[in-house]
Amino acid sequence: MLGTTAVLAQSIVHTLDPFVFEVSPGIGPRWYGTAYLAGFVVGYAILRWLSKSGRIPLSTRQVGDLVTNVVIGVILGGRLGHITFYEPSTFLDFSSTFPFWGVLALHKGGMSSHGGVIGVTLAIILFARREKLPILVVGDAVAFAVPWGLMFGRLANWVNGELWGRALPDAMQANPPWWSVKYPEELTLFTAVPTSLEPLRELAPATERLSDAKFLAWIQTTAYDHANSAHDAVITAIAPVLTAYYPSQFFQAFAEGPCLLILMSLAWLAPRHAGTVGGVFLAGYGVLRYTTEQFREPDSPVIALGFLTLPMLLSATMVAAGAMFFVLSRRSQPIGGLLRKAA
């Protein structure tokens, strides 16, 4: 089940368990999948409310079908986007163990939010054409329901200990703030055991016969094993030698969730031309994502154009797409709004 983080040396040491609970070792529901499920459930509830209140011209049945399409778009787009943008070698990653192909290893994480947006966009277009609905209307409805899922996904990134933030400036490392985070996984980057960690050999059975690499691996494993009697001693010992990082997952969760939702809500208080809310979503997400990327460690390997990382370039593209939505919306009929419905 979900463990706790240890707060030591004025910094959080991340030791969270990715499993909600384990039926057997390595098998059980994970917080990552639970976060996606929660996002879909909340998104469905929002779309159903918009439908029942007459703010969007979709029936209850159409809302259910739309959510199904969006789920497929998020999973396919998010996964294929991540692999295409960041880990193309995964397409050739085959093994003799389940799920046999690296592309299908969703339980290990690896979803691109930009890829998810592309997948959802295609799902919206196909759904709108099939149901003979205006694409901009469907896009607005989905955009308004998305921020909760984005926020839950970022929080799942935090639980998984992935997508680290950038390291704090050197001047802050000696006395890192309480909100910074340290990852025991960083021990895999060490080439030798720091002198301060040598006393831990007394707690590790037979570690005097282990190489530095294996001893560091034992320390890392123990840091995540809350049931191990040496856990607290290990956390106390490793905290001072680990690097403090920005908690970028929380920055992005707040930006892509509450901030984005507030922007769209303010834009949709009164009825707006269809496409306006979608435009606010795309442009707002692009700007907010670009801003929070300043605190996130660039993915490796990654395409970059000068100081612009691939996520920044994709975010700039989303801003441009948002501008296009604003232009297209001028020719559409008003829908919404949250305080009063269109006549």
107 in a structural domain: yes
SS3 273: strand
Angle at 162 between CA 5 and CA 231, to 5 degrees: 30
- Asked if residues 92 and 145 have their Cβ atoms less than 8 Å apart, the reply is no
* Structure confidence at residue 306 (pLDDT): 64
Alpha helices in 225-275 (DSSP H): 231-238, 248-254, 260-267
343 in a structural domain: no
* Structure confidence at residue 308 (pLDDT): 73
233 in a structural domain: no
Question: Tokens at residue 32, please?
Answer: 């990552």
The Cβ of residue 78 has, within 10 Å, a number of other Cβ atoms equal to: 24
Range of the domain at 110: 31-164+246-335
* Structure confidence at residue 101 (pLDDT): 81
- Asked if residues 112 and 302 have their Cβ atoms less than 8 Å apart, the reply is no
Q: What is the pLDDT along the chain (343 residues), one digit of tens a residue?
A: 444 444 444 789 999 998 888 888 878 888 888 998 999 999 999 999 999 999 999 999 999 999 999 999 998 888 888 888 777 788 878 788 777 787 777 766 677 877 888 899 999 999 999 999 999 999 999 999 999 999 999 999 999 998 899 999 999 999 999 999 999 999 999 999 999 999 998 888 776 577 888 899 999 999 999 999 999 999 999 999 999 999 999 999 999 999 999 999 999 999 999 999 999 999 999 999 999 999 998 866 556 666 677 778 888 888 998 999 888 898 888 898 898 776 6
Query: Per DSSP, what are the bridge partners of residue 291?
Result: none
- CA-to-CA distance for 325 and 318, rounded, in angstroms? 10
* Structure confidence at residue 96 (pLDDT): 80
225 in a structural domain: no
312 in a structural domain: yes
Query: Is the CA virtual torsion 201, 204, 205, 209 positive or negative?
Result: negative
Count up the domains in the chain and report the number: 1
290 in a structural domain: yes
Helix or strand holding residue 13 (H, E): strand 11-13
> Helices 113-131 and 60-85, interaxial angle, to 10°?
140
- CA-to-CA distance for 277 and 268, rounded, in angstroms? 7
Any idea how long the chain is?
343
52 in a structural domain: yes
Phi, psi for residue 75 in degrees, rounded to 5 = -70, -50
Q: Which residues contact 219 (CB under 8 A, 6 or more apart)?
A: 184, 187, 197, 200, 204, 234, 237, 238
18 in a structural domain: no
